[in-house]
Amino acid sequence: MLAKNSRLLTIFIIVFVDLLGFSLILPLLPYYAEVYGATPLVVGLLVASYAAAQLIGAPVLGRLSDRYGRRPVLLLSVGGTWVGFLLLAFAAPLGNFLASLIAPQFANAWIIGALFLSRVLDGLTGGNITVAQAYIADVTDEKNRARGLGLVGAAFGLGFIVGPAFGGFLSRWGYYVPALAAALISFLNLIAIFFFLPESLTQEVRQASLLRKRPPFTLKALVQALNRPLVGPLLHVRFFYGMAFAMFQTIFSLYCQAIGLSSQTTGYLLAYVGLLSVIVQGGLIGILTRRFRENWLIISGLWLMAASLFTWAFTSKLWQLIVVMIPIALSGGVLNTVLQSAISKSVSQEEVGGILGIASSLESATRVIAPSVGSFLLQALGIWAPGVFSALLMAWAVTFAYRRIVLPAKRQRVLSET
């Protein structure tokens, strides 16, 4: 028990430090790119490039971790993040050097190209969270799985509370400084994994995964996973919940701007959401999963998310927003954790990394699609439209989850009792 708790604490610290580095530079990335003449469209593509690359990279890394172990893939992933942040920090001198060799008049274009390269590399190797979740699935039993995965969510939220404020403070000395700090943090993470994190996957499980001879990741593998009877419905729900929640996240700043809130107030609100997420996933989720079945929590979380997003659509005052963000954070924290837990339990141990990678890939796809759809709805119809659209997605997800997850589980329990 002590060894297991020690490994869970190590994973918590690794995920927290990883997200701290990521959130240091995320809010500053648009400002960094605009210094070198990037248009709003280019900035949008730069932000989306990370999610698009992760859409490909996460399932590959997850499947490789099934075959070769969690520890080496975590080292590869965090190493790629470190190099990506170094490229981000030194984009200007690198871009200027390349421009001096080829086309000096296009120096800014070369610098922006270096920024894109840094984000794509980080995205392709950015399966840290997926592999960390697979590691937790290895060292926890089914009863404690959701509580263990909640630690990842808590580390995620804590990183997003501390990171943006620290990054904003460092940016007064230049936008490359937070990127350097993020690179240093990633390097320390690399050292921590190398010295303090033992392998969690047994040789027998790795051998079984190798014998399956599954390709690292293909579109066919994604379609097959979506059509599987147990994990397929969970992946569908993960995608539609992810789409609705990503729309809330990605257009939140635009929404706050539209109702007259300052950037400082918006930053405080995001930190508030991070704090709520830490409370839910770090403590409350363990209590809930001990008292209620996961299927019940999924349905209840979807209902609460649908109602909360619908209410958010017609919220225009700060105090109302503070109130409505409580059920949004509660349902989001529950769904994030319980869906991942249920997905990891629906496949054999030698498939856990790969299937969690596919779930992460679907989530990355939502972060590519949601900003475009959400901003279009807000601009074309008004500030209420993204919330209503997201609530309708959640209402449909409720009916789908009841038909494809809850009812089959009920039938299975009846058959096992008779």
What number is the average pLDDT over the span 398-412?
82
What confidence tens digit (pLDDT) does each residue in 338-353 have?
Answer: 898 888 888 877 777 7
Q: What pLDDT band is residue 176 in, cutting at 50, 70 and 90? A: confident
What confidence tens digit (pLDDT) does each residue in 310-319 have?
Answer: 999 998 888 8
Indicate whether 215 pLDDT > 60: no
Rounded distance between C-alpha atoms, residue 24 and residue 6, angstroms: 27
* Average pLDDT across the chain, whole number: 82
Q: Which fold has domain 2-408?
A: Growth Hormone; Chain: A; (1.20.1250)
What confidence tens digit (pLDDT) does each residue in 56-99 have?
Answer: 887 888 888 888 888 998 999 889 989 999 999 999 898 888 88
Q: What is the pLDDT of residue 376?
A: 81
Whole-model pTM: value is 0.77
- Which range in 155-164, 257-266, 374-383 is most confidently predicted, on average pLDDT? 374-383
- Which range in 195-204, 213-222, 345-354, 387-396 is most confidently predicted, on average pLDDT? 387-396
Domain ranges across the chain = 2-408
- Which range in 78-82, 249-253, 307-311 is most confidently predicted, on average pLDDT? 307-311
Q: What is the pLDDT of residue 414?
A: 64
What number is the average pLDDT over the span 169-196?
87
Lowest mean pLDDT among 108-112, 195-199, 213-217, 362-366: 213-217
Q: What is the pLDDT of residue 9?
A: 78
3-state SS record for the chain:
CHHHHHHHHHHHHHHHHHHHHHHHHHHHHHHHHHCCCCCHHHHHHHHHHHHHHHHHHHHHHHHHHHHHCHHHHHHHHHHHHHHHHHHHHCHHHHHHHHHHHCCHHHHHHHHHHHHHHHHHHHHHCCCHHHHHHHHHHHHCCCCCHHHHHHHHHHHHHHHHHHHHHHHHHHHHHCCHHHHHHHHHHHHHHHHHHHHHCCCCCCHHHHHHHHHHCCCCCCHHHHHHHHHCCCHHHHHHHHHHHHHHHHHHHHCHHHHHHHCCCCHHHHHHHHHHHHHHHHHHHHHHHHHHHHHCCHHHHHHHHHHHHHHHHHHHHCCCCHHHHHHHHHHHHHHHHHHHHHHHHHHHHCCCHHHHHHHHHHHHHHHHHHHHHHHHHHHHHHHHHCCCHHHHHHHHHHHHHHHHHHHHHHHHHHHHHHHHHC
